[in-house]
Structure 1
Amino acid sequence: MKTIVVRRGRRMLWAALGLASGLSGTAVQAQAPAPDSIMVASASAERDTSADMELLMAGDVMIVTASKTAQHISDSPAAVTVITAEQIQQSGATTIAELMRSVPGADVMEPNKSQANIAIRGFNNVYSNKILVMIDGRSINEDIEGNVFWNTEPLLLSRIARIEVVRGPGSVLYGADAFGGVINIITKTPMELLADGKRMSAAAAYGEHTSTFIEAANTQGKIGDWAVTVGAGYHGSKGFGDRQPDKVRDSFSTPILTVDAQKQTSRGSLAFSASNSDAKADLSVQTNVEDGNWHTNSFTLTYNEDKGPNPIMARIYRNSLQLKGSEFDLDARIVNVDLQQQRQISARHQLLYGGSYRQGEFQATPTGSGRHSENLASVFIQDQILIDSRTNLFAGVRWDNNSVYGSQVSPRLSVVRHLPKEQTLRLSYGTAFRAPTLLDTFVNYSSPLLPGVNLNIIGNTGLKPEKVSSFEAGYRKDLATGYVGLNLFYNDVTDLIGNTVTQYAPAPYPAGIPTTVQWVNQGKARAVGFELESGFSLPHGAHGLFNYAFQNVTYQNGEQVIYSPHHKINLVLNTDERRRVTGYLAAHFVGASSDPPATLRAYTTVDARLGYRVGGLANPWTVSLSATNLLDDRHSEYVDSLSAMAPSKSAEAQRRTLWFRADGKF
């Protein structure tokens, strides 16, 4: 019984919601110049994006997320994958989930057109909550379940400079929820867009299932002084169900507005960002939200003093999400303050240290009518020592103190050794934690189950965070025309949060019908695996990527963790974007996974794009035809195991979506 309870933790809550209606996340040189917010400035919009792909192939792309300091990808203390602006443009992707399918070790699950869930190295699920997702260093995870509502997030894909995906625990620098990894979406700054010479950009696409993708941005300012970018967009679809009465509701419509302003100072820069969306979206898997009204907005103010010897970063941001549905309401507001400094101790030794304070207030239908709050204070320090000309040591520790679940300490130790012939070896140990969510902690929900009997679901303010201890080994070989890499990992997971039955229905009802359940820590798991990846150049400026990931994720009794397939293979080919005719082809194989008693079959999908540039490179306009799931492989990526108890909706099989698109700058 315990195994089932641990594995199916959250589902009984969502079953209750359904029943209520149905029955009633070269070593780094010591002079690395910038803390994490400098990541925005490191993405160059001043050169054409094809240069980024060439640098990626040569191992010369600068990254910041793995250590919060600028470094070459081969110097990273963790396994990192970079998705460049060129790759985003070449793919014709309209969602982050499409881009993440090509990342080694990433698990992507789209139950239908309106919902997406992303995990790293296993443990995926609906409302996946074991990775940290950031936009320019600002967390966008929602506290009700710790997940990201991808299709209602006010994010313009055309504004992305690159996406850095760190695989493995990252709590030493980022705290809670950087459990399986970190996705940092880095956007182009207004100053970079101004230096690009094109003040206006636009993209428009129309696809099957009444799908629409529109984005535009305009930048004004004075180079070296100030710049302002205003962006707007609309992402929407009627979904695979096409809003028919007998089909799953999986539509969404998300209007987006963004404003970014940047002012250069004698010591650095001051930046302000704001984003807003008032979306209408269905959340039809494990709950009943149809035509829900989603109001999402954020405000961020960042100061970077990066022109001195010891860079300083200060950031304050506010996130807000309100959901109004027929059966489910949510109101969550977060205020977060980050401070950090990078200090050069000697030619071989530098420290990075900082702290943050976060305050959140929440109210949701399953937690009753009252508001709840949490406060989190943290400090961290990372010591980076160049032991010799070929060996770099990263040692760090972070302390987090939460007003509900108490204190957590997250250490990391990583050694990066450069070998002859452009080879790099990395050994790492680190820990991370996933904080109990709002529902884990405060849920207090009751719904009719049987005549005279309710199903009661109770939270637990005494929950401990889920924890992972990870051992990793990495190898990378940079070649003249690409690279090869291998990463091995062993993750030991403890204190998994699930629920336990504390009361059953009395006679004369049959024995074994639960009437009261409570969230508890009662599980362990283990994940072992490896990721083999390579990038290679092809004739005429074309490029290719290949990766294979194996993972074996099991509970302590040996049972497989759901939605954690053993095998994943990706092959991506794309032409030089400077050519008049461009092409992109991506094949994704995902092995079988299970949600007992059902099994999801293995599937292969193919995404493709064919583009034609109108005009010269100085004023590029491109028209293209693209497709996701080109072969219309009608596979399912989620099993609605609740449908027997709560016959609300079942997941929809994935369908092909053909797009016609135009992109340009002027």
Structure 2
Amino acid sequence: MKASPPLSFFLLTLITAGEAAADDLFSGQAVPQVLTATRLKQSPAAVPGSVTVLDSALIKASGARDIAELLRLVPGMMVGYRTGNQPTLNYHGSSASEARRLQVMIDGRSVYHPGLATVDWTDIPVAIEDIERLEVFRGPNTVSYGANALMGVINIFTRQPLDSTGTRLKVTRGQRGIADYYASQGNSWDSGALRLSISGQQDDGFDHDETNAPYRDSRRLERISLSVTQQLTPRQSIDWQLAAKEGSNQRPYVYEPLFPGITLGDTNSDVKASDYAGSLRWSFDQSASHSLSLQSSIQHWERLEHWRACEAEIAFSPQLAELWSLNSDYVRRFTGNPFGPVPAGTAQERALATQIRQQLASGATREVCGTANQNIRETRYDVELQDTFSLSDNLRLLSGLGYRHDQADSETYFSGRLSNQVWRLFGHLEWHVDEHWLLQGGAMFEDDQLTGSSLTPRLAVNYLITPKHGLRAVYSQAVRSPDMYENNANSRYRIRGMQPQPFGQRDADYFLHARGPGNLEQEVIRSHELGYNGLFADAGLSVDLKLFYDEIHNMISEPLRADRFAPDNSHRMRFSGAETQLDWQVSNADRLRLTYAYVDFSATSKTDQRLTARNSGSAGWLRDWGMGWSSGLFYYGADRLNERRFERTDLRLAKRTAFGRSNLEVAGVLQWRLDDEALTWRENNYDDRRLLYLSAELDF
């Protein structure tokens, strides 16, 4: 078989790195550790999969204002935008408008919304200034984190309060309406510490749509968070967090009335977004070989969206709603020519169509207006007990039990309230057979009240050349449960305060009505991976290589449109290819970072082909120039995101000045699009391919 360019690149990387730092294979320097893969602290060479770590230095040098933009530094991560305030991310690809297959956590607390199976990247209630690092497990990980970790896990670790003492103030201003701020205060005492931070973000989104008309997609948000750690005894500690976020996101109003001449009503369909969260973690080190932890959290999300809507009176006809429930295809044929002959159909369909024709003849095309909404409130309660036990010097067992209660409340999406309960039991066994061979196996059993039970396994073999260099072979399965809306939707727009009143109704239902099938199965992925991870510590070089072959079955791929609501499990997708990432501390002053992903794919749904680039990657150069000057230069590229090329260069230049115990850093970020394409969708356009914003940060 002909070798692909990525494989040649991998081999060249290994050979070059090996020749440059072969003596390092047996050095005694400390090995870094990661946590996200299995919940156990492991060296990257011993992990049953691929992990990308974005540390604080890299986060700062990137100049990114958002988590979504940070993830462009992860190989294989496809970053797109529905609008300026709606990023959408998928690992390796699939739908360009929905991101349903990644588990995202903040300090172990999932921010995956249960009702609509989304992650609200814009509204995650954490400031980027509070992030210590991101760990991204690139691959299925239901075994450790349950259903919805189908394609990967993004774990956001915030700075420890003990590392956040003092005061930090930061303001950012720039083009496209950028106006951000951040302030934090940290204090410590003999047995604990706390950090309180407030922050806000604001920008105008994209400038214009494909017709050169202004685009309504700005955002404004404010956040507050409190993080506290308390050492109860030498062996026990408690960590708790509170977070809240309030803001608004503009939405473009794109509805098309049934008949010409109807006004659009109020184009202000903006979303008021509120998030509230609290979590508590108790940790107990019973001995050097045995520890327990209990974590609980409660979260509440509100998305309130209402607007004044206008339509023809016939859209609220009870007979038209009944006909839609009987046969939506018949309604489409009928409304395509509402004044023509009654289409052929059953006797009941023709009778209803005749009544609707009479209503039209009596003037039911007149304009009526009222207030519509797409409000939804979601609440999650989660509690989990985890036990970590070293059975011997070469055998570790992690096990746990968890319970989650999800609730969604929406008149529009569910005609009321819907709830779900999930029980989970999980375990992971790590066995060092000898100094080179490491066997790992794990499984997660979940019982979901709405979708049934599932058992997902993972098996991995690692060959450790040294503690810092390892080869791996991994097989895993993972699932994604259909969300409440996909499976159990009972959706209809209730228009209130109608004037004039259609058919004598002050509050009326729009005729479209979407119902979930109620019998959707879980999506299933079967993943195969071969890889290498190596740390050449003396050379300051870390390398990760990955070959993969993944198949997803039972995919729910149909767009969840109210007028064509027909989700099913009929689709599948295949990914194969290779990835690499290199991080090289060339000297005390210079650091280079490279990522590349080649993804070959096939999908039965065109929707799932949209956000997959065959070639994508990034390159970064971090430089400390001395005298307080530093810079970060980055390139990001993808050859196809929804049929559009993406290339951008970012430059961050900063100057840090000390004033006694205080430090002031002034920085500028310039982003320059190298392509001339709309971003992901044709509506997403900027007037200028360049973006400049400046920041000033003071800590004391």
Shorter-normalised TM-score: what interval? Answer: 0.7 to 0.9
CA distance in 2, matches of 1:481, 1:80: 18
Structure-2 residue corresponding to 1:568: 616
Structure 1 residues 90-239: aligned runs within 5 Å: 90-194=61-165, 199-223=166-190, 225-239=191-205
1:601-650 CA distances to partner (integer Å, 9 max, x unpaired)? x221011100011127964321011123x24744323236xxxxxxxxx3
Q: CA deviation at 1:127?
A: 2.7
- 2:248 aligned counterpart, secondary structure: strand
Aligned pairs for 1:240-251 (under 5 A) are: 240-241=206-207, 246-251=213-218
Of the candidates 236, 240, 247, which is equivalent to residue 272 of structure 1?
Answer: 240
SS of structure 1 residue aligned to 2:143: helix
Q: Per the alignment, in what secondary structure is the counterpart of residue 439 of structure 1?
A: helix
Measure, in 2, the Cα distance between the counterparts of 1:139 and 1:299: 12
3-state SS of the aligned residue for 1:228? strand
1:496 paired with 2:555, answer yes
Contact 1:122 1:553 in 2 (8 A): no
- 1:332 corresponds in structure 2 to 378
2:279 maps to which residue?
300
SS of 2:567's partner is strand
**Of 573, 578, 581, which residue of structure 1 is paired with 2:629?**
581
1:615 — aligned with what? 658
1:59 and 1:526 map into 2 onto residues whose CA distance is: 39
Tell me the percent identity: 22
Of 335-344 and 307-316, more deviation after overlay is shown by 307-316
- Amino acid paired to 1:282: Q
| TM-score (norm: length of structure 2) | 0.77
**Quick one: distance in 2 between partners of 1:257 and 1:414?**
41
Q: State the alpha-carbon separation in 2 of the partners of residues 559 and 245 from structure 1.
A: 26
Could you give the per-residue CA deviations for residues 393-413 of structure 1, whole angstroms, max 9, x where no partner exists? 110011000001000101001
How many residue pairs get aligned? The number is 575
Contact 1:285 1:651 in 2 (8 A): no
Instruction: Give the Å deviation of 1:665.
Output: 1.7
Q: Report the Cα distance in structure 1 between the residues aligned to 2:699 and 2:128, rounded to whole angstroms.
A: 15
CA apart distance, 1:254:
0.6
Q: CA deviation at 1:142?
A: 1.1
SS in 1 for 2:86: coil
Query: How much does 1:416 deviate?
Result: 1.3
Q: Per the alignment, in what secondary structure is the counterpart of residue 568 of structure 2?
A: strand
Tell me, yes or no, if the aligned pair for 2:95 and 2:607 is still in contact at 8 Å. Answer: no
TM superposition shift of 1:363:
1.9
State the distance in 2 between where 1:455 and 1:477 align: 57
- Given the superposition, is the C-alpha separation of residues 347 and 577 from structure 1 closer, same or farther in structure 2, using an over 3 Å criterion? farther
Question: Which residue in 1 is equivalent to 2:300?
Answer: 320
Distance 1:307 1:213, change over 3 A: farther
1:408 match: 454
1:470 counterpart residue number = 527
- Asked if structure 2 preserves the Cα contact closer than 8 Å seen for 1:607 and 1:627, the reply is yes
RMSD: 2.8
SS in 1 for 2:239: strand
Instruction: Classify the secondary structure of the residue corresponding to 1:99.
Output: helix
Task: Establish whether residue 345 from structure 1 lines up as the match of residue 391 from structure 2.
Answer: yes
Select between 155-164 and 477-486 the one with higher mean Cα deviation. Answer: 477-486
Q: Give the structure 2 partner of residue 259 of structure 1.
A: 226
Secondary structure of 1:570's partner?
strand
Preserved contact between residue 557 and residue 607 of structure 2 (Cα < 8 Å):
no
Q: Which residues in structure 2 correspond to 1:284-299 (within 5 Å)?
A: 284=252, 290-299=269-278
- Richer in helix (by share): 2
Stretch of structure 1 that moved more, 134-143 or 264-273: 264-273
Verify: 1:486 aligned to 2:454, yes or no.
no
Structure with the greater alpha carbon radius of gyration = 2
Q: SS at the partner of 1:371?
A: strand
Aligned match of 1:550: 598
What is the CA–CA distance in structure 2 between the aligned matches of 1:110 and 1:154, rounded to whole Å?
A: 19
| Contact 1:118-1:124 at 8 Å conserved across structures | no
- For residues 419 and 383 of structure 2, the distance between their equivalents in structure 1, rounded to whole angstroms, comes to 16
SS of 1:173 mapped into structure 2 = helix
- The residue aligned with 2:582 is 534
1:445-477 Cα distance to aligned partner (Å, 9 max, x none)? 3579xxx99544321221111110100011123
Using a 3 Å threshold, how does the CA distance of structure 1 residues 367 and 453 change in structure 2: closer, same or farther?
closer
Asked if 1:637 corresponds to 2:696, the answer is no
Report deviation, 1:246.
3.2
Partner residue of 2:649 out of 589, 606, 616: 606
Aligned in 2, Cα 1:236/1:453: closer, same or farther, shift over 3 Å? Answer: closer
Separation in 2 of the partners of 1:96 and 1:468? 26
Structure 2 match to 1:659:
693
Please, which runs of 5 or more residues in structure 2 have no aligned partner? 1-28, 256-266, 307-372, 495-508
Unmatched 5+ stretches in structure 1: 1-57, 502-512, 641-649
Structure 1 residue 517, shift from structure 2 partner: 4.1
Query: In 2, are the aligned partners of 1:458 and 1:516 still within 8 Å (CA)?
Result: no
Partner of 2:264: none
Query: Residues 382, 253 of structure 1: CA spacing in aligned structure 2 closer, same or farther, 3 A cutoff?
Result: same
Post-superposition CA distance 1:344-371 (Å, at most 9, x none): 1111111100011000110235424310
Instruction: Work out whether residues 233 and 256 of structure 1, in 8 Å CA contact, stay in contact via their aligned partners in 2.
Output: yes
CA contact (8 A) 1:632 1:656 kept: no
Which residue, out of 363, 366, 380, partners 2:426? 380
User: 1:616 and 1:467, CA in 2 relative to 1: closer, same or farther beyond 3 A?
Assistant: farther
Offset at 1:126?
1.8
- What's 2:670 paired with? 627
Q: Cα 1:391–1:240, aligned 2, differ >3 Å: closer, same or farther?
A: same
1:360 counterpart letter in structure 2: D
Provide Cα deviations, 1:233-256, integer angstroms capped at 9, x if missing partner. 011112233899932211111111
TM-score (norm 1): 0.81
